[in-house]
Structure 1
Amino acid sequence: MSFSSEHRHDANAPQPEPAAPAVSNSDAQTSSISSPLKRKLPPPEKPEHVTRRSFVVASFWAIVLFLGLPIWWKTTTIYRAQLPLNQMVDWADGKACNPVFPTRIGINAPALRDEEIQNLIHITERTLDTLNDFPGHRLQFEVSRSANVQTDDLIHDSNNALTVRLSPGDTTSSFLHTSAPVLEITYPPNSIPPSGATTSDFATYLAAQLRETFAEERDVMSYLFATSSMPSERRPQGPPRDVASSLSKRMTRSLKYSGTYHLTFSLFTSGPVPSSWDIDSAIDEYMKPILDMLRPIHNFTIDTQVQLYATPGVQSQVLSKEDLSSFINAAEWPLSPSIGGAPTVNFIVFIGNQTIGSLSETGTSQSWLIPQWGSAYLLPPPSTDHVSSELLKQPVLTFTSHLLSLLGTPQSGPLPMRLSTLTRIRSADLLLRASSSLGSLARLSLALPSISIPSSVADGVAKSMYHLQLACSNLGGTVGLEHARIAEAEAERAFFEKSMVGQLYFPDEHKIAVYLPLLGPVGVPLFIGLLNQIKAWKNARKEKAKTA
């Protein structure tokens, strides 16, 4: 029996595997969503890599902290020299110096015995102490042993501000000479207090005469201290309101004190003539004696000039008081500038047809005083092209009077006594100015901690305080005036130091605006790197704690 080939079957042949059931697309998508996603983690860092990164971050921070910050601090810090702030404030408040201006008074009384003179001086001093409303002005008496001198042959000790000559007479009277600081007082013989007496009408009269003689100086002194920067509880009572108003005008008119002034004498004419003048001989004859008397207080340099075809600022022939301020046109009248840094005082003689229609406060019908500037004098055209010294006598004498006013010289009393008073007034003014500048500098230093204080400022403050102490110990004479002048100059130089004043216009807001754009890009990576290292260090400690 035979079988067909289609039905042959090898039992030993491998059988095919059954086919997998078909899966639809929707079933596969559901299976992939339902199974969890496993994130592939980075391989663990080797310990040497972690250590290297820590060293890199630490090295950056070490460079910033130990190299960058010191260099930045050294190059950007503001140098502030040490200032004696407490002492500077004490000077400004009047605590470091009790200014007393001793005024020496010589008593010449040949007809009195020593006991009578000493007792008279003692009673007079006690009377002055009860009447004195300004303790800084103190009269010191000394007995002069010169013989009795006639009135026409005055003897005066230059070291004394005033000499009081007591002479017996029928009545009590007094007379102050105009050419010398000598006060003549006559007294009845029975008016002299005996030894042991405590009161005397004649001593009261003598004290009243001395107070009247030095009334202007006392008023000026009290006005300077009353208007100073001292605290109100330390300032003395000022003069009456009307006197204070008059003194204020005088102070505004006068020039600021300087050891040297430059005097410029100018001849201005509206035409070609006159073209020459004898100004040198007129100055030597009429002004030089006053300049020599002022030499212990001021030095003077002089120059002269002639300006032809000089047109005044006002064309009218009759000048009113309002026209005087614009008469001198600085743009058209070339005036000499300050020479050597000294302030210039201008004296102008103008030859033309102008006249002053009304009297001014500080001038005559031909001249007027220009506050803090100088003086001008109008002269009619001369008959020749040369101005002689005789024609210049009155202008130069007027200029001399105006110069004394510009320098702040008192107006009453003989000229030597007025110059002695000027020395004490200028000493007080400079002492107060220097003290005020030191106080302002101390307050500025405390109010602006970021302001620069160079070493030159500290040196100037030290020099100023040194000379202030010497001036306070020698008030009343030219020695104290010179020390006060140096102290005021050093204090002003320290306060207006250029390198220090420039810091006032660089506030802290500018520094923030400069540094923020630099600190942002540099600081953010450093801080992020440091935070990451701190975080990694904490995680390492936790893992170590788990495995332990």
Structure 2
Amino acid sequence: MMDKIEDHESRHSSTSLKSVDNADNQTSAQRVPPPETPEAIQTRFRVIAAFWAVIIFLGFPIWWKTTSIYRAHLPIQEMTEWSEGKICRPVFPLEIQIAAPALQLTESQHLVRTTQHALDDLNEFAAHHLRLKLANATDLSDSGGPVLGGQNTGDGPDTALTVRVLSEDGLSSPRSELHAETTQLDIFYPPSQVPVPSSSNPALSVFIAEELQRLYSEEKATIAYILSGGTSGPDAESISRRLRRSMKYADTYHLSFSLFTPGAAPTSWDIEAAVQEYLAPLLFAFTPISNFTIDTQVQMYATFSPMAPPPVFDEVESAWTLKKEDLSAFINAAEWPLNPSIGNGPTLNFVLYVPDPSQSPMVVKENRASSWIIPQWGGVFLLNPPLETTDSSGSRTNPAHLSQDSLRPAFMTFSHQLLTLLGTPATPSSLPLRLQSLIRVRAAALLLSASSTMGSLARLTESLPSIPIPATVAASVAKTLSQLSATCSHLREGRFGAALASARIAESEAERSFFEKSMVGQVYFPDEHKVAVYLPLLGPVGVPLIVGLMKEVKRLVAAWKARRLSKA
């Protein structure tokens, strides 16, 4: 009986073990996927390859074409060399004609030669060189040259100055006389000082050289200051102060003349006649440098700014006075209709202020001046016209109308202020010579400014490879470099009017290329922004494609290794 029970238990245990083994086999069979058929493998491979083929041969080229940035070719090396001053070193050879009608030809030639030697010994700035030339009779005119002093319209150099050497009895030493309206300098010498061919350093030659050196001393100092970048020169501080007061060069300036009064009079002025009489000749003389547009206005009841200190009556001077430190607050910009800029060019404001009769006359306390300049803005003139008695009570008021003669002091002052604001040198006394100096100074400044802009553009395009460079920028750069070369060539040959014209074009094209709108917009779009845009779009699509590609690569590598092992 016991044997039967044990046998039954053993059979039962065997049956239980078989059931467990069968369950495990079924679970394993369910976990292991069935082997893929070759057709399925080929289908999966083709699907993945098709996706990647569309991405590589269609999607990527379309993306590259639609997102690529056009960058026109720029001569970076040449632009950098211009900014570093390696291509052009500006020189200013001034041609000065010497006329000595009382001397023999050999004596005149000897005078020119010895004067040139004396000039070379005095000159410490090699870039600015005075070249003397013996003038022919046909080169001279009775007036000594036009207003701008012999600006040449041909291919020859401009004549900067004509020196007439004249004999005069009764002199003990030479003297000079500069014509204020022309570019002619007269040198008078005693007959006893006629230079003889045997003398190597005649007194007359030394005198002429010193006079010429003095005439162009301020121009030389200014050009040396500009070429050195404002770091050298004995008068660097005064030159810097003068240049800071002047306006930046422009092809066209807008002149705004305003009549302001705190009361009801005056209500009109002869502004057109005053401009034509006192200002038009000066503006015409500036034609080779800049053009001008003019507008005028009359504003009554124009009161002082509440923040400005009021004038104080000075019993000693018997006048109402303004302190020098309070002049900056004189213009009531909040209420006076003064436009900061009208049209394309910068605006120069000239304010004629007629004080109220109760505060007339009005002057500046420290120097009793009636005018002052506001740097890079304009000028102010305090006009104190004779008061008129209106009735029997004796009340006095300003005249209702300002005549042309009463405007003369104001407009003569405005003329001087305009010259200062445009950067005209203060010396010499001849206006045509000062305008000639301004042409050379402006040409030098524009040449350096355009060259510096080219260097900045070259550094910008190299440091930011993601910004576009349109074809218009390349064209402007090419034109700028061409005009810079022309400017340098004109300066070297002494054609300063043509040099200024070329430098003006170079500066304009350089500014246009540097401030191209499409380039400026891309400067502030860094690469991190692109990653932030593309990652959310390409991440969900790219991950399955990359994982599928990796699996296919692993399968192909495993199949290749298996074939090698089977062959081995």
Matching residue of 1:509: 528
1:22 aligns with 2:12: no
**Separation (CA, whole Å) in 1 of partners of 2:438 and 2:203:** 32
Instruction: Summarize deviations over 1:19-71 as a string: whole Å, max 9, x none.
Output: 97135988876777789944324333222221111111111111111111111
Corresponding residue SS for 1:391: helix
Instruction: Summarize deviations over 1:249-276 as a string: whole Å, max 9, x none.
Output: 1101001111211111111111222111
1:331 aligns with 2:347: no
Moved more, 331-340 or 388-397: 331-340
1:119, 1:197 within 8 Å by CA — same for their partners in 2?
no
| 1:493, distance to aligned residue in structure 2 (A) | 1.1
Matching residue of 1:377: 381
Matching residue of 2:519: 500
Matching residue of 2:314: none
1:316 aligns with 2:316: no
Of the three residues 89, 94, 105, the one matched with 2:85 is 94
Matching residue of 2:177: 176
Of the three residues 451, 459, 468, the one matched with 1:452 is 468
Identity among equivalent pairs (%): 47
Corresponding residue SS for 1:83: coil
**Separation (CA, whole Å) in 2 of partners of 1:116 and 1:147:** 19
Once superposed, which parts of structure 1, at least 4 consecutive aligned residues long, lie more than 6 Å away? 17-20, 24-36, 147-150
**Separation (CA, whole Å) in 2 of partners of 1:148 and 1:219:** 30
2:256, 2:348 within 8 Å by CA — same for their partners in 1?
yes
1:167, 1:186 within 8 Å by CA — same for their partners in 2?
yes
Moved more, 370-379 or 21-30: 21-30
The 1:428/1:329 distance shift into structure 2, 3 A limit, reads same
Matching residue of 2:425: 410
Matching residue of 1:114: 105
| 1:544, distance to aligned residue in structure 2 (A) | 3.8
Of the three residues 124, 129, 139, the one matched with 2:130 is 139
**Separation (CA, whole Å) in 1 of partners of 2:254 and 2:554:** 79
Corresponding residue SS for 1:248: helix
Instruction: Summarize deviations over 1:211-255 as a string: whole Å, max 9, x none.
Output: 111101100100111116xxxxxxxx8321xx1111111101001
2:79, 2:455 within 8 Å by CA — same for their partners in 1?
yes
1:437 aligns with 2:456: no
**Separation (CA, whole Å) in 1 of partners of 2:408 and 2:167:** 42
Matching residue of 1:162: 161
Matching residue of 1:6: none
The 1:378/1:544 distance shift into structure 2, 3 A limit, reads same
| 1:198, distance to aligned residue in structure 2 (A) | 4.9
**Separation (CA, whole Å) in 1 of partners of 2:519 and 2:47:** 43
The 1:298/1:542 distance shift into structure 2, 3 A limit, reads closer
Of the three residues 497, 511, 523, the one matched with 2:542 is 523
Corresponding residue SS for 1:304: strand
Moved more, 117-126 or 501-510: 117-126
Instruction: Summarize deviations over 1:505-525 as a string: whole Å, max 9, x none.
Output: 111111122222233222211
Aligned length: 517
The 1:490/1:149 distance shift into structure 2, 3 A limit, reads closer
Corresponding residue SS for 1:97: coil
**Structure-2-length-normalised TM-score:** 0.84
Corresponding residue SS for 1:411: coil
Corresponding residue SS for 2:88: coil
The 1:29/1:420 distance shift into structure 2, 3 A limit, reads same
| 1:539, distance to aligned residue in structure 2 (A) | 3.0
Which structure: larger Rg?
A: 1
1:265 aligns with 2:257: yes
Matching residue of 1:239: 233
Matching residue of 2:297: 305
| 1:312, distance to aligned residue in structure 2 (A) | 2.1
The 1:189/1:272 distance shift into structure 2, 3 A limit, reads closer
The 1:542/1:177 distance shift into structure 2, 3 A limit, reads closer
Gaps of 5+ in 2: 151-158, 312-320, 389-398
Instruction: Summarize deviations over 1:170-194 as a string: whole Å, max 9, x none.
Output: 4332323252333232345564554
Matching residue of 2:223: 221
The 1:421/1:541 distance shift into structure 2, 3 A limit, reads closer
Gaps of 5+ in 1: 1-16, 229-236
The 1:543/1:184 distance shift into structure 2, 3 A limit, reads closer
1:461 aligns with 2:457: no
**Separation (CA, whole Å) in 2 of partners of 1:446 and 1:196:** 64
**Separation (CA, whole Å) in 1 of partners of 2:267 and 2:405:** 16
Corresponding residue SS for 2:404: coil
Of the three residues 282, 287, 291, the one matched with 1:290 is 282
The 1:269/1:54 distance shift into structure 2, 3 A limit, reads same
C-alpha RMSD over aligned residues: 2.8
2:174, 2:190 within 8 Å by CA — same for their partners in 1?
no
| 1:95, distance to aligned residue in structure 2 (A) | 1.9
1:174, 1:183 within 8 Å by CA — same for their partners in 2?
no
Matching residue of 1:232: none
The 1:336/1:537 distance shift into structure 2, 3 A limit, reads closer
Alignment of 1:55-134 (within 5 A): 55-134=46-125
**Separation (CA, whole Å) in 1 of partners of 2:137 and 2:24:** 127
Matching residue of 1:401: 416
Moved more, 185-194 or 77-86: 185-194
Instruction: Summarize deviations over 1:472-520 as a string: whole Å, max 9, x none.
Output: 2223532221111111011011111121111121111111222222332
Moved more, 126-135 or 427-436: 126-135
The 1:547/1:244 distance shift into structure 2, 3 A limit, reads closer
2:479, 2:509 within 8 Å by CA — same for their partners in 1?
yes
Alignment of 1:1-12 (within 5 A): none
| 1:462, distance to aligned residue in structure 2 (A) | 1.1
**Separation (CA, whole Å) in 1 of partners of 2:248 and 2:48:** 66
**Structure-1-length-normalised TM-score:** 0.87
| 1:351, distance to aligned residue in structure 2 (A) | 1.3
The 1:25/1:139 distance shift into structure 2, 3 A limit, reads farther
For 1:407, give the aligned amino acid.
Answer: L
| 1:203, distance to aligned residue in structure 2 (A) | 2.7
For 2:547, give the aligned amino acid.
Answer: I
**Separation (CA, whole Å) in 2 of partners of 1:24 and 1:358:** 132
Matching residue of 2:436: 420
The 1:154/1:43 distance shift into structure 2, 3 A limit, reads closer
2:176, 2:188 within 8 Å by CA — same for their partners in 1?
no
Corresponding residue SS for 1:514: helix
| 1:123, distance to aligned residue in structure 2 (A) | 2.8
Corresponding residue SS for 2:508: helix
Instruction: Summarize deviations over 1:310-329 as a string: whole Å, max 9, x none.
Output: 11223612321222111112
1:203 aligns with 2:195: no
